[in-house]
Structure formats: C-alpha cells, structure tokens
C-alpha cells in the first residue's frame, strides 16, 4: 500500500517523473533439472557459476520430472537452461537410432537441436553418465558376474526394477533386454529412481537400472555390469540453452564455455555421493567443488 500511495503521489504532483512507478525488467534466467540427484547438482553448479561470472540472477527449478517434460518446458520458454545427455537427446527426443562415437553423437544432437528447436548445445562438461545395470556385490562375487551377458542364464529367476523413463524410452528396457536375450521372472518393477538401490539392497529386486555416476553404487557395495555388447550409446553431459536466452544474455556463452571439460566422472560421482550418502546440502557441495577447481 505504501508503494501504491507513493506512486499515486508522484503521478499527481508532477508529470516530469512518469517512470517512478515502473520497475526495470529483471535480469534473470531459469535453470531446470530432471528428477534425480545428479541433475540437481548440475543445475546448482550452472546457477552458481553463472551468477558469479555474469551477475545474472538465476531461479532454480529442480526435480521437475523426466526428459520429455523438461524438453517441453524449454520449448515453451518456461526454462532457459538445463543439462542433457547426448544419447538421451538422440534417442528419446530426436527419435534417432544411435550411430557413431561420442563426438559424432554430440555433433548430431547439436545440429538437430539448433535446426529443429532453436536450442543450443554447448561444450560437454567432461563426463558421461550411461545407464548402469547394477547388482549386489555379493551376488556378483558368488555368481562371477562381470558383464551384462553373464546374467542371461540366471535372468529367468531374477526380478528387475527400473525407473519409469527407462521402461518407456527407445534405448531402455525393451531394447536392452532384447539385445542381451534376457527373460526375467516377472515384468519390471517400476519405481522412483531414488528407491532403486534400496529395493536392491533389501532384496526386493535382483538387478536395477541405475546410472553409472550414482554415488550410492560404491557406498552400498553394488556392482555395475559392463555393457559388453555396447548396446547403450554415448551419454555425455551437455548444457542445453535456448537461443533466445543467449541472444538476450550473450555473456552466458562464455560462462558456459568455462565449464567445458571441467568435470570428470569421478568428480560428479563424489558430489552425488556427498548428497545421497552423506546427506550434505547441494549448495555447499557445489560451492566446495567450484573452489577446488578454481571456478
């Protein structure tokens, strides 16, 4: 009410100050993330770095959901920036069959995102997060399990648990189980990603579809099996930003480029573990990482 009264007084007293009741447009962008720890960590990393380097205010919208929901939010202009994985972009968003190596996949995604969506894929962050088919450590040792093909003979006795997105996407459960000739004891159990490892350790499932950079894998003495048939495509982590946002804030480009190649798989795994296993605050974990890297 005080602000409204002040504006009315200014308008009534003088016509020389017509801008007194107007606010300058906010210099702000919105960063989003999917619904798992690593995505929240990466969103916070981008946000802190951008705020420090450019002075642009960043709103965080994390744990929003799966790939297609985030993609639609980007196209609608509800989000300006998030981190995607190249293999996910190629298969789940573009609907293409993976071909070629990591660089070829990156170039194809970069080209198609620009042409079809007006989205720019910037420099890869430096690590890959592929799907990890994870078993209990004692089972791996007892049954001599190393590769995904090793479970073909025992799969009919095993239960598998997956996230909803892995069940539905073209590079997910159906293609993976077909490539390895796997027939499980029952249909996959679908649950939130955060519950998969608990289901495994509590013997509610015998193998789960996790992520290679999950911090809990080592903490819980779990074993990811090697993709010996090379079914999964490359999944390099890359920031995706709206072209309109880059045009509005050109300083963003240099800030994002500074993060290119700066995060190793081991470093993101440690950050994920600090949040999931040690229950530390994401902001603190990211702040310490940036300081250690001189960012």
Domains and CATH numbers, the chain: 28-128+234-292 (3.40.190.10), 131-224 (3.40.190.120)
Least confident segment among 10-14, 59-63, 108-112, 194-198: 10-14
Distance CA 158, CA 156 (A): 6
Over residues 5-32, the mean pLDDT reads: 52
Neighbour tally for 73: CB within 10 Å: 18
- Nearest-angstrom CA–CA distance, 246 and 252: 6
What is residue 18's predicted lDDT score, i.e. its pLDDT?
A: 40
The confidence score (pLDDT) of residue 242 equals 98
pLDDT tens across 50-88, in order?
999 999 999 999 999 999 999 999 999 999 999 999 999
Question: What per-residue confidence (pLDDT) applies to 193?
Answer: 85
Q: What local confidence, expressed as pLDDT, does residue 100 receive?
A: 85
Question: What integer best gives the mean pLDDT of the chain?
Answer: 91
Residues 6+ apart with CB under 8 A from 230: none
> Each residue of 214-223: pLDDT tens digit?
999 999 999 9
What percentage of the chain carries pLDDT values higher than 70?
A: 91
Largest CA distance in the chain: 87
Confidence category of residue 26, pLDDT binned at 50, 70, 90: low
Mean pLDDT value of segment 136-152: 97
For the whole model, what pTM was predicted? 0.87
Please state the three-class secondary structure of the chain as a single string.
CHHHHHHHHHHHHCCCCHHHHCCCCCCEEEEECCCCHHHHHHHHHHHHHHHHHHCCEEEEECCCCCHHHHHHHHHHCCCCEEEEEHHHHHHHHCCCCCCCCHHHHHHHHHHHHHHHHCEEECCCCCCECCEEEEEEHHHHHHCCCCEHHHHCCCHHHCCEEECHHHHHCCCCHHHHHHHCCCCCCCCCEECCHHHHHHHHHCCCCCEEEEECCCCHHHHCCEEECECCCCCCCCCEEEEEEEHHHHHHCCHHHHHHHCCCCCCCHHHHHHHHHHHHCCCCCHHHHHHHHHHHCCC
Asked if pLDDT for residue 10 goes beyond 80, the answer is: no
The residue-averaged pLDDT of 266-275 equals 97
Question: In which band, very low, low, confident or very high, does the pLDDT at 99 lie, cut at 50, 70 and 90?
Answer: confident
pLDDT of residue 227 exceeding 90, the answer is: yes
């Amino acid at each position: 009410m005080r602000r409204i009264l002040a504006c009315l007084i200014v308008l009534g007293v003088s016509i020389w100050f017509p801008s007194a009741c107007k606010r300058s447009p906010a210099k702000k962008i919105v960063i989003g993330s999917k619904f798992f720890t690593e995505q929240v960590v990466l969103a916070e990393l981008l946000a802190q770095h951008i705020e420090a380097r450019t002075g642009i205010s960043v709103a965080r919208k994390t744990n929003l959901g799966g790939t297609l929901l985030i993609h639609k939010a980007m196209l609608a202009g509800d989000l300006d920036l998030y981190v995607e994985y190249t293999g996910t972009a190629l298969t789940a968003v573009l609907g293409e069959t993976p071909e070629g190596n990591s660089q070829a996949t990156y170039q194809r995604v970069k080209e198609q995102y620009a042409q079809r969506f007006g989205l720019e894929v910037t420099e890869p962050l430096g690590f890959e997060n592929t799907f990890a088919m994870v078993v209990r450590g004692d089972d791996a040792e007892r049954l001599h399990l190393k590769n995904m093909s090793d479970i073909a003979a025992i799969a009919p006795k095993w239960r598998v648990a997956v996230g909803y997105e892995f069940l539905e996407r073209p590079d997910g459960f159906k293609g993976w189980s077909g490539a390895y000739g796997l027939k499980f004891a029952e249909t996959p159990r679908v649950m939130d990603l955060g519950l998969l490892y608990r289901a495994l350790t509590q013997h509610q499932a015998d193998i789960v579809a996790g992520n290679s950079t999950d911090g809990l894998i080592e903490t819980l003495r779990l074993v990811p099996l090697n993709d010996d048939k090379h079914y999964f495509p490359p999944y390099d982590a890359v920031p995706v930003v709206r072209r309109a946002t880059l045009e509005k804030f050109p300083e963003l480009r240099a800030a994002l480029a500074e993060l290119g190649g700066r995060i190793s798989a081991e470093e993101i795994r440690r950050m994920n573990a600090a949040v999931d296993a040690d229950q530390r605050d994401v902001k603190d974990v990211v702040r310490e990482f940036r300081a250690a890297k001189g960012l």
